[in-house]
Structure 1
Amino acid sequence: MRLRTKITLLIASSLLLVLLLFNAVTYMTVVNLTTTNEIRLLWEAAQPIMSQPGVYSPNRWNRSGWLKPFLTPQSMIRIMDTDSQIQTVLQSQEELLQIPAVYSSRSFSKTIKTADALIVYIQTPIIDENNQTLGSLQMGRKLETLDEYLRVLITVLMFTSIGAAVFSLLSGMYYTRIILRPIHRLAYIMEVNQQNGVFMQMELSPFGRHDELGQLIRTFNAMIAELERNFNRQKLFLADASHELKTPLTIIESYADLLKRWGGSDTALREEAIEAIQSEAVRLRNLTHSLLTLANTEAEGQQLWQHFDMAELIRTTAAGLQQAFKRELLVEIELPDALLYGNPEQIKQLLIILLDNAIKYSQKPVRIKLLRDHRDAQILVLQVIDQGIGVEAVDIPRLFDRFYRVDQARSRETGGNGLGLAIARNIVRLHKGTVAITSSLGAGTQVSVKLPFLPSPPSL
């Protein structure tokens, strides 16, 4: 069943349910008001009878002539003794004799439903001046007029309910078509995108929509835009990776052909070819490792996240790199207990990337600073500062692009492949932080990483 049909039927059935409840309440209200009014009239009619002396004289009960002036059309007057024996009865409708004749020492009123009509009656005890109960007086009335009114009311309610049901079906179909039109358009755009491999977005009106459908459309457009950006980045990544892989593979192939033709008899040529092939193979291995690392850091997730001491991680990493590169690394920790929530291995990789770049392009000591952000106490700042050759301002925005190198020759000499800072940016992004670079030629470079941290261990 289509969604449009479901909504239409839901609207129609809900309206019919409301109408049925309304009709039932209306019917019961009319019946209750009418019977209450008739019972009130019966009590008022009983007052003159109860003021007659004959009511308090049981020997006059079998002579009912004095009661006839009080008998009205479609009514009954009955007197019974304390043994529920009927002493006198006057009625203008035979159906009124169906009222039960049962003595009661209290006053009450009731309504009974017969096959022909609705009957209301009252009953009150007859008590003389000596406070002795002599019997009971009953007065009843057949509500024939009410039955006619109720039949008319039921007919009117039935036709109005049918009309309302038809109207709700037609209006439900019309309004659901208007409401679901954006959804149908959205489904069409999804189908076009799937079949043609495009990234079409759905247009919003100039004033936009501020309801749930508008939110759905904006979310869809944002998702399509993100998919298009990722697709374009993937195409660029594949093109750049193919270009980067092509060079070492070409060199390996060339030297392999050279060895095949001339290397057997020329020892120097053979050694040169083997050295070149080995060098390019190492470069291919490093490039492949960097590509896998980049792909892993682009995947969202918080696997292997834990709380760790950022200050201790900086000290141990700096000590290891200082020993490996035989370079002086100056560590300045202003937050001795900087507790960070994240992946310690990725943060260590981030630190290694930043320090590796600083060591490669600087001959002077490299400074590592860990401090609190002066604007937000819940943010820690990691700074790696070198006094190296620096970078021109025009190149800074592209430093985080994949395979981007400021100087191809210089990067080849240092063994870089242009993926380090791209990996670093992904690690920072996964940890909900930011990274920025400030640099100038001949004055050095400063990389600032801001990450959220916990000032104390979490409560268990």
Structure 2
Amino acid sequence: MRHLPHMITRRLAKRISPTSLQFRLTVELIAIAVLGVSGVAIWAGWRMEQTLISVHKQNLEYIAARFPEQVELYREMGSVETGVKATIDKLSTPELLIWVRSPDGQILSRPSAINSSPPELMNGVVTTDVPAQPTVFRFGDRYVVLCGNPLSISGTPLGQVYILKDITEDQMRLNAGVHSLILSSIVAVVLLVIAISRRIRRALQPLQQMSQVASAVSADDLSGAKLELDRAPDEIVGLAQAFNEMLVRLSGSWDQQRQFVGNVSHELRTPLSVITGYLQSLLRRGDNLSPHQQQAVATASAEAERTIRMLEDLLDLARVDSGNLHFRLTPILLNTLVMEVAQMSQKVSNRQIDLFVTNEDVMVCADQDRLQQVLINLVDNAIKYSEPDQAVDLVLEKTEQQAAIHVRDRGVGIALAHQQRIFERFYRVDESMTRSRDGTGLGLAIAKSLIEGMDGRITLRSKLGEGSLFTITLPLWKPQA
């Protein structure tokens, strides 16, 4: 039972992150509650024990102080021994034992009840150095208050008077009360733990809602995202309002950025196409140009064409962001498409493309031109980042629910730190690991957008020095009955 708060704390730790505010507040308040309740219980138990012992001690001190007077009173009826015996018989009870011992250790007088006392009690008393002040002792299962004082009658020392009071029953009742107090404290701590954890979880629920909204917000739904909190504290309501205003500003900035990229890409494509045409015409008719001039014009033409390709990629991404990129989804046979891509890439690059196609017909509902664009891009990347003598594998597989197209190379590979960002726009792996600088850093971002637009997924597995594996998965086409 005493380990129950620790069990609850461990369960909370499993459900809540140890670094979260909810966990820290819960643990701190539980610790304060446990310390507070435990402190009160310990103090209450100690106070009860002190009250009980104090009463018995005062009783023994009173008896010890009046004992010589009682002996003097009863002495008038006879000898000193008669007075001592009469006083002991007068004051003794079943719980209170009094005896007198001479300086040489002989017991001068004692009550008859002492003979019926438990042997372990009397043996313990005999071997104990009895203090002058009443003190609590435990002998076996018995609790007693014991004291010993010198006894003198009319200035004549008679020895020591010992007073013992058995408080076992009172101590047992006290122990039972302390146990009940401990049990009540444990129950109170458990109830406090449950109440505190629930209250903190409820108080921090608006922050969890904010976290969920922030995690779900993407660039496509900034304008529609809004955090609405009911019956939240004023501080959290103010934070939610600031969060909503931030989303509005981000949405406006993102729309302006997309519009700017689309407009610039569209406006620059036409003049660059004109420049490329003039440069190519100059190369065809530039017989009077020197080799250095011809090389400069060829370089300018290649860079202009590369810039045009990048602008076209930017336009595609702008259409994706604005939702204006439309797909012509039709049932297509992937077996034929994959074979055409392999033949086309092998002919253009003069590199070996190993094709592995399942014997089953694999039908998917997709945009054939867009899917072909993605496959050509992946195969082209695999060729660029592998050695000339290394083949590229193009594999088509079919499962019960989906089709999978794998593009595998055995090139330099991609480090794990870069794999999470490889599909981001303009992100490129370290130039020292690449074989070509012709890319724009947009090809994989466009491929991801196109595949997701066709309800598919594109993933990457790679290892440095062993190559990369890009996988496209698309749901199988199921004709309607």
What TM-score, normalized by structure 2, do the two folds share? 0.44
What TM-score, normalized by structure 1, do the two folds share? 0.46
